[in-house]
Amino acid sequence: MRTTTATIIKMKGTGEAIPMLTAYDYSTARVLDELEIPMVLVGDSLGMVVLGYESTVYVTMDDMVHHIKAVARGAKRPLIVADMPFMSYRNGKAETLKNAARLIQEGGAQAVKLEGGESVAEVTRHIVSNGIPVMGHLGLTPQSVYQLGGYKVQGKTPKKAAQLLRDAKALEEAGVFSMVLESIPALLAKLITERVSIPTIGIGAGVHCDGQVQVIHDILGLVSDFHPKHAKTYAPLGDLAASAITRYMEEVRSGAFPTEKESFRMNPDVLSELIQYA
């Protein structure tokens, strides 16, 4: 049975913390599915960790659909939330709904996520009223990185913190089933979490959120050029991969790979018949 938005909302009531991770491909989705993670995010962070862009603003609808499809083939039980990419929800309600529907119908996600507060409340309401669950995203909103002037902690002044509280209430009223709080002070995240009825999912927002989300490459040590403060490396898979690849190259060069075990035998009769032809 797939996790539903109702199950996620209920988890806030019962106090059961909600773990969420990103996935961008079939194999990772299979692992997360088997481990029974309740929610998977096909984040537009794929633009940076998979496609090598300097920010998420280059990610297109086609990129998102391509990766959501792969994740949907592997993740049968988690709720799959898909990011609406840069500008895909800023060109009027009709185009926004068409794009959200594509991520669900063509991609195979069950919910969409979009960045912003009061400024996206109206389109959020429109998507929700057409039957598509929406997750909000407040605080550090990476699609606005050029306006924010970098990946900085948000909501540090009373005025900016108050705006984030208003944004959270606006999203709740617009009907989101949960919201990501990214890179804001832990006590502000606590206040927002207490003031909204739907679950907050933190990333760099402290321990008081109802759940946590991380980019899977960060927790597995797969990205070496940038390690955000909020990310903890649970396994140095990048280092392990480098030593495995080094050994592979050495063994190919020395002739130690492949051995009999990785090779296929030929029936001696076939070989002698072949020699007659060759």
Per CB under 6 A, residues contacting ligand KIV are 22, 41, 43-45, 83, 180, 182, 203, 213, 215
CB of 37 to ligand KIV, least distance (A): 14
Nearer to ligand KIV, 58 or 257 (CB): 58
Tell me the closest approach of the beta carbon of residue 120 to ligand KIV, in angstroms.
Answer: 14
Contacts of 244 (CB under 8 A, 6+ apart): none
Catalytic residue among 36, 115, 173, 182: 182
Which of 89, 73, 72 lies closest to 81 in space, CA to CA? 72
Q: Compare residues 85 and 185 and give the one whose CB is closer to ligand KIV.
A: 85
Using CB atoms within 10 Å of the CB of residue 153, give its burial: 0 to 12 exposed, 13 to 18 middle, 19+ buried.
middle
Neighbours of 90 (CB within 10 A): 15
Is residue 182 part of the annotated active site? The answer reads yes
* CB closer to ligand KIV out of 31 and 231: 231
Helix axes 93-102, 121-129, angle to 10 degrees: 50
Q: Toward ligand KIV, which CB reaches closer, 26 or 257?
A: 26
Annotate 91-122 with b (16+ C-beta within 10 A) or e (fewer): eeeeebbebbbbbbeebbbbbbbbbbbeebbe
- Whether the link from the prior residue into 142 is cis, omega within 30° of 0, is no
Tokens at residue 131, please?
Answer: 């039957």
Residue of this chain nearest to ligand KIV (CB atom): 43
Closest distance of CB 200 from ligand KIV, Å: 12
Rounded least distance, CB 121 to ligand KIV, Å:
19
Give the active site residues: 182
